[in-house]
Amino acid sequence: MSYTGPEFDPPQSHRPRSRRVLTVALAALVPGALLGWGVYAAVGGPGDGDGPDRAGGARPSPVPSSSRPAASADDAKTPTGASPSATAGKPSASPSTSAPAASGPLKGKVVVIDPGHNPGNFQHPSQINRRVNIGTNWKECDTTGTSTNAGWPEAKFTLDVAHRLRTLLERQGATVKLTQDGDRPYGPCVDERARIGNEARADAAVSIHADGSGAGNRGFHVILPGAVHAGAADTRAIVAPSADLGERIAGNFVRVTGSAPSNYIGGGTGLVTREDLGGLNLSTVPKVFIECGNMRDSKDAALLTSGAWRQKAAQGISEGIVSFLRG
């Protein structure tokens, strides 16, 4: 999958974190955030829909495009219990890594960006449906992700934002590694995505997604790892730094994009803690997921498919990472 670039604007057709109110985090981290949130509400904030909790509810079936099947739930969305099955082989591909920057405030820092899913996943159902061990249980290797009602896939959105984010972080001097760069036929599996960040000894890792909830469900949320200690999973050492990273990303995302926190999950904080995601459970470095918006809501989809807004999304995530790494 190639980088579509800023000019690509297609036509449009669970746990809440206990009492960490986003406004408090914003007051400490980004004083201008509440203003951005207020602007969002004034020009068309979250709808009145009181839809299901995407971290625990059923997902509506997306409308497929002519070139890909309907998308399914994924590791950053609906939790699933599973039993192990036989292990199949994985494609081999080296994650894309930028050259170390000569200078900048993040010189010497390593950031791993994990663009959720892969545009080719739907062509490899047996490989992405096989189960992998995420510590607490077994889960699908990966999924196809969701799409807009017009059929624009989440996997293209995530890779586009990842490229923009990489450019911004490299300008700050960081060494950036992507878990995939459209350079492999499918995947990687969720356990490999975590392993890439671990082996890179990343100072921060962020997995980029967009949600697939019901119409009327709007806004972003950042998923933080819960305290898990089971099997190969032990997140206890990364819970606190990951929470710090996630709060800083959420605050800057509001300020830069003007988007409000999710109106259907997270209790209005924009922060959700989960213990069922392999990409978090198996991480040994500070890591969060961000669901940048809901692709199945027409208003959110209009933002997600806008190149200008995706640049703002990347900027908000970048500024959150920079704030975290600089302390």
Instruction: Please list the active-site residues.
Output: 291
Strand partners for 16: 272
Q: How many CB atoms lie within 10 A of CB 108?
A: 12
User: Residue 147's closest CA among 313, 2, 304, 306?
Assistant: 304
Secondary structure (DSSP) of 301-327: HHHHT-HHHHHHHHHHHHHHHHHHHH-
CB 178 within 8 A of CB 1: no
Edge-to-edge strands, sheet with 110-115: 175-178, 110-115, 204-211, 287-294, 221-225, 271-274
User: Residue 194's closest CA among 220, 228, 161?
Assistant: 228
User: Residue 312's closest CA among 165, 155, 157?
Assistant: 165
As given in the structure block, the two tokens for residue 111 are 């950031």
**Residue type (1 letter), 79:** P
Give me the residue label for tokens 């069922």.
276
